[in-house]
């Protein structure tokens, strides 16, 4: 019995690390692709590739009849779950460092707690309220001090470009938060593979016309094309499958904490492959955001 439990524990931890590594690398591949494709075409290619990858799995699992019965709801869900946030983050990484984008992405549970409180009436005790305050203070300080995050890999060092990029990241995290409450309210019993595949298809349809309008004037390089293929297959398709397996093996509470590890991998990739600068101030404020987010999420049992 103990050997079996040990094996299961090891399995979910491997999935956990792989998922954090894949989602952390998504910021790197977005940067490599968005510089040539632009944010809209980058997001469209990502969700299109992910749809083609996930669709056979959904059909193979026998979910096609369920998808047909709820297709309008699922496709609409894809706008907030994928189309908008993917486009916003693709825009952001063109103007600020990928490391900073990943840290701001870690605030998703922070916004999720706030949206669930306003929309679903979820209870917030004093610890979770304190976490919201700490988390938003950390985000505010990051925004105020973002001028110190310049690097050679950051093509737009203007204040306007950076502030709009930070706003785009925060709007994207809000979209993810709204998606979470939307799922809980309208799709609570829907298999995750159906909602994820359908959301990618919905995002593909929503972004098709804007992406065609914003196609690059010149043919992108092989590196940019391969980056978006990896982004769609590995960072979106495979990552979703790993996430579902992680939820089943470790539970949703543990699966949620993977959000806090993503910036670690993103920062490693940004320094290694993009020569981005990571300052102590950036790391410290990022830890403040993560701590506040964790507190607001209620993942500390004694503080619920």
pLDDT tens per residue, range 43-54: 999 999 999 999
Hunting for tokens 């980056």 — which residue is that? 227
Q: Find the range with the poorest average confidence among 38-42, 161-165, 256-260.
A: 256-260
Predicted confidence at residue 295, as pLDDT, reads: 84
**pLDDT-above-90 percentage for the chain:** 52
Predicted confidence at residue 183, as pLDDT, reads: 86
Q: How many angstroms separate the CA atoms of 91 and 40, rounded?
A: 8
Predicted confidence at residue 154, as pLDDT, reads: 53
Mean pLDDT across the chain, nearest whole number? 86
For residue 179, the tally of other CB atoms under 10 A from its CB is 23
Hunting for tokens 């993977």 — which residue is that? 258
pTM over 0.85: yes
Predicted confidence at residue 143, as pLDDT, reads: 75
Half-sphere exposure of 163 (CA within 13 A, CB side): 5
Predicted confidence at residue 255, as pLDDT, reads: 76
For residue 123, the tally of other CB atoms under 10 A from its CB is 9
Q: Is the pLDDT of residue 151 over 80?
A: no
**pLDDT band for position 300 (50/70/90)?**
low
Domain locations in the chain as residue ranges: 2-303
Predicted confidence at residue 141, as pLDDT, reads: 85
Predicted confidence at residue 2, as pLDDT, reads: 42
* Residue bearing the bigger pLDDT, 202 or 154: 202
Hunting for tokens 């469209």 — which residue is that? 44
Report phi then psi at 66, rounded to 5.
Answer: -65, -40
Q: How many angstroms separate the CA atoms of 166 and 228, rounded?
A: 22
**pLDDT-above-70 percentage for the chain:** 90
């Amino acid at each position: 019995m103990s050997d079996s439990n040990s094996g299961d524990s090891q399995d979910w931890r491997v999935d956990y690390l792989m998922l954090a590594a894949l989602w952390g690398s998504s910021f790197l591949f977005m940067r490599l692709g968005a510089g040539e494709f632009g944010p809209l075409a980058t997001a469209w290619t990502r969700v299109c590739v992910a749809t083609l990858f996930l669709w056979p799995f959904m059909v193979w699992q026998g979910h096609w009849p369920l998808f047909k019965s709820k297709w309008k709801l699922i496709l609409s869900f894809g706008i907030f779950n994928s189309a908008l946030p993917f486009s916003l983050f693709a825009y952001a990484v063109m103007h600020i460092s990928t490391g900073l984008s990943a840290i701001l992405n870690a605030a998703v549970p922070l916004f999720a707690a706030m949206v669930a409180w306003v929309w679903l009436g979820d209870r917030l005790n004093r610890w979770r309220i304190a976490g919201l305050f700490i988390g938003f203070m950390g985000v505010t300080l990051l925004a105020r001090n973002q001028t110190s995050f310049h690097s050679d890999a950051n093509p737009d060092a203007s204040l306007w470009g950076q502030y709009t990029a930070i706003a785009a990241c925060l709007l994207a995290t809000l979209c993810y938060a709204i998606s979470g409450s939307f799922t809980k309210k309208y799709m609570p019993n829907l298999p995750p593979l159906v909602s994820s595949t359908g959301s990618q298809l919905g995002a593909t349809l929503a972004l098709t016309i804007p992406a065609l309008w914003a196609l690059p004037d010149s043919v992108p390089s092989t590196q940019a094309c391969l980056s978006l293929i990896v982004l769609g297959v590995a960072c979106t398709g495979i990552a979703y499958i790993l996430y579902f397996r992680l939820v089943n093996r470790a539970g949703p509470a543990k699966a949620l904490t993977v959000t806090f590890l993503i910036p670690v991998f993103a920062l490693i990739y940004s320094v290694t492959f993009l020569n981005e600068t990571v300052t102590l101030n950036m790391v410290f404020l990022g830890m403040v955001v993560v701590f506040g987010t964790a507190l607001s999420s209620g993942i500390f049992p004694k503080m619920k």
